[in-house]
């Protein structure tokens, strides 16, 4: 089987220090958490940024500062800025994260709207998706298609048919937000994408390591991190993103999946093609 690409979603926009003290807010904390994940085996950092008080922001300046700090401690890591940001942000704000210098190699493209708990709805209209896809295409940024339920694959395929996405596509299946975190749902997603695609499995909350293990066995790639889950095991907070990545590496070893370096991940994901 191919080497395993591990993405670390180190920060997110929703989780707070009140949930786990190690959640990073400052530039130094973001760099510390990125390095812990990279040292443990992550080749991709999925990046949200915060103000020092923890407020989520899509400020280009803050992204630039955080990216420069991460590159200072792990120069070859792939940085994947979020264009999802936080619920309620405008499209214009959300897209600021990709206008850093140099342009990122990779960024998220959320391909539909979904419920985000309580009264929150994460809105991605068809026009938003097309606009974001076109902007990424024009700037030579590979999109990671974020899929919170099956309809989002169908939306992505319609955008693909309009030539706003280039094959081979890369999908990230996020289970446990809208669709449930079951192996049945993961299998259905995997069976629903073009056969030349690559994919990552992300389980939210207590489904994180179940979805990680299933993705490892099924030949996909894995995302873990504080954005998705703050526990290393039931009732025990993770000390760092690195600790979460280490656990994935241990599971992967049991199934003979070697871990991809950032350059190997670039090839496996067909960057530049």
Q: How far is the CB of 81 from ligand KMH (least distance, A)?
A: 9
Which residues, other chains included, contact 231 with Cβ-Cβ below 8 Å and sequence gap of 6+? 206, 237, 238
The two structure tokens encoding residue 206: 């207590």
Running DSSP on this structure, what letter comes out for residue 4?
B
Would residue 116 be called left, alpha or beta, if left means φ above 0 and alpha means ψ between -120 and 50 degrees?
Answer: alpha
From the list Zn ion, ligand KMH, none, partner contacted by residue 87 (C-beta under 5 to 8 A by kind): ligand KMH
CB closer to ligand KMH out of 77 and 95:
95
Among 25, 63, 106, 122, the residue binding ligand KMH under the rule CB under 6 A is: 122
Q: How far is the CB of 66 from ligand KMH (least distance, A)?
A: 14
Among 29, 110, 149, 228, the residue binding ligand KMH under the rule CB under 6 A is: 110
State the SS3 of 175-191: ECCCCCCCHHHHHHHHH
Rounded Cα distance between 230 and 248, Å, is 14
Rounded Cα distance between 192 and 151, Å, is 10
CB closer to ligand KMH out of 164 and 259:
164
CB closer to Zn ion out of 224 and 257:
224
Residue 108 parent element (H or E): strand 106-110
Q: Which residue is nearest to Zn ion (CB)?
A: 82
Site string for ligand KMH, 132-151 (x = CB under 6 A): --------------x-----
Q: How far is the CB of 240 from ligand KMH (least distance, A)?
A: 20
- Work out whether 208 is an interface residue with ligand KMH (CB under 6 A): no
CB closer to Zn ion out of 177 and 238:
177
Q: How far is the CB of 220 from ligand KMH (least distance, A)?
A: 18
Contacts with Zn ion by CB under 5 A: the residue count is 1
Rounded Cα distance between 66 and 35, Å, is 12
Q: Which residues of 104-136 are buried (b: 16+ CB within 10 A; e: fewer)?
A: bbbbbbbbbbbebeeeeebebeeebbbebbebb
Rounded Cα distance between 133 and 108, Å, is 10
Per the CB < 8 A criterion, the answer to whether 216 and 201 are in contact is: no
CB closer to Zn ion out of 12 and 262:
12
From the list ligand KMH, Zn ion, none, partner contacted by residue 146 (C-beta under 5 to 8 A by kind): ligand KMH
Among 7, 36, 43, 82, the residue binding Zn ion under the rule CB under 5 A is: 82
How many residues belong to the chain? 273
Which residues here bind ligand KMH, judged by CB under 6 A? 13-14, 82-84, 86-87, 108, 110, 116, 122, 146
Binding stretches for Zn ion (CB under 5 A): 82
């Amino acid at each position: 089987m191919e080497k395993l690409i591990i993405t670390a979603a180190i920060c997110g926009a929703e989780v707070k220090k009140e949930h786990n003290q190690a959640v990073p807010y400052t530039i130094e904390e973001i760099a510390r958490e990125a390095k812990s994940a990279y040292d443990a085996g992550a080749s991709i950092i999925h990046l949200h940024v915060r103000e020092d008080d923890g407020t989520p922001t899509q400020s280009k300046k803050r992204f630039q500062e955080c990216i420069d700090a991460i590159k200072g401690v792990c120069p070859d890591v792939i940085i994947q800025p979020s264009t999802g940001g936080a619920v309620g942000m405008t499209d214009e704000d959300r897209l600021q994260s990709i206008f850093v210098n140099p342009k990122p190699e990779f960024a998220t493209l959320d391909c539909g709207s979904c419920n985000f708990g309580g009264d929150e709805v994460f809105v991605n209209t068809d026009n938003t998706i097309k606009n974001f896809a076109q902007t990424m295409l024009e700037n030579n940024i590979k999109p990671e298609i974020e899929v919170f339920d099956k309809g989002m694959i169908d939306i992505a395929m319609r955008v693909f048919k309009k030539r706003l996405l280039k094959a081979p596509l890369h999908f990230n299946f996020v289970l446990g937000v809208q669709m449930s975190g079951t192996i049945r749902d993961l299998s259905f997603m995997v069976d629903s994408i073009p056969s030349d695609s690559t994919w990552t499995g992300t389980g939210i909350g207590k489904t994180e390591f179940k979805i990680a293990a299933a993705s490892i066995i099924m030949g996909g790639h894995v995302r873990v991190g504080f954005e998705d889950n703050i526990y290393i095991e039931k009732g025990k907070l993770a000390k760092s993103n690195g600790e979460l990545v280490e656990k994935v590496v241990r599971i992967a070893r049991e199934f003979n999946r070697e871990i991809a370096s950032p350059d190997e991940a670039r090839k496996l994901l067909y960057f530049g093609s």
